[in-house]
């Protein structure tokens, strides 16, 4: 099982990209260049490299995960997000988000209507 571990700041940045910049890596990069925040720009680039490496969308995952914690969300969304990711408490009191790449891909296939997904459970 492949896991991605993100800091709270990385999660919030990816979610911000989704919510405020249409999930566009290019738009959020322009934003951080415009406000001259090289550190956040570098973080956005690193997140995008991770997304390309694993072929998943961290902006959506992070936004939907935080959304379930801060807003009323359907029970199915809560269960799906708990299935694909969870917070891990660190010794210093901070939290990291652990994201299961395999589970994100599984949910993506389900959402896209992959016929192989429906038959993978066996009969």
80 domain-assigned: yes
34 domain-assigned: yes
Please state the domain count of the chain.
1
10 domain-assigned: yes
Residue range(s) defining the domain that contains residue 31: 3-113
**CA angle (58, 106, 70) in 5-degree steps:** 45
Beta-carbon contacts of 25 under 8 Å, excluding residues fewer than 6 positions away, are 17, 44, 47, 48
35 domain-assigned: yes
Two tokens, residue 80: 């799906």
121 domain-assigned: no
Dump pLDDT digits (tens) for 34-57. Answer: 999 999 999 999 999 999 999 999
CA distance 82 to 75: 11
pTM of the predicted structure, to 2 decimals: 0.86
Stretch 11-30: mean pLDDT: 94
Check the CA dihedral 6-55-64-117 and report its sign.
Answer: negative
């Amino acid at each position: 099982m492949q896991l991605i571990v993100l800091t709270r700041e990385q999660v919030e940045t990816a979610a911000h990209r989704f919510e405020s910049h249409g999930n566009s890596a290019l738009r959020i990069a322009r934003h951080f260049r415009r406000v001259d925040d090289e550190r956040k720009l570098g973080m956005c680039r690193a997140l995008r490299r991770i997304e390309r490496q694993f072929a998943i969308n961290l902006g959506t995952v992070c936004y939907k995960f935080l959304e379930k914690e801060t807003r009323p969300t359907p029970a199915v969304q809560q269960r799906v997000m708990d299935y694909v990711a969870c917070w891990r408490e660190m010794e210093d009191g901070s939290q990291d988000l652990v994201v299961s790449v395999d589970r994100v891909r599984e949910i993506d296939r389900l959402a896209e209507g992959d016929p192989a997904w429906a038959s993978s459970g066996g009969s």
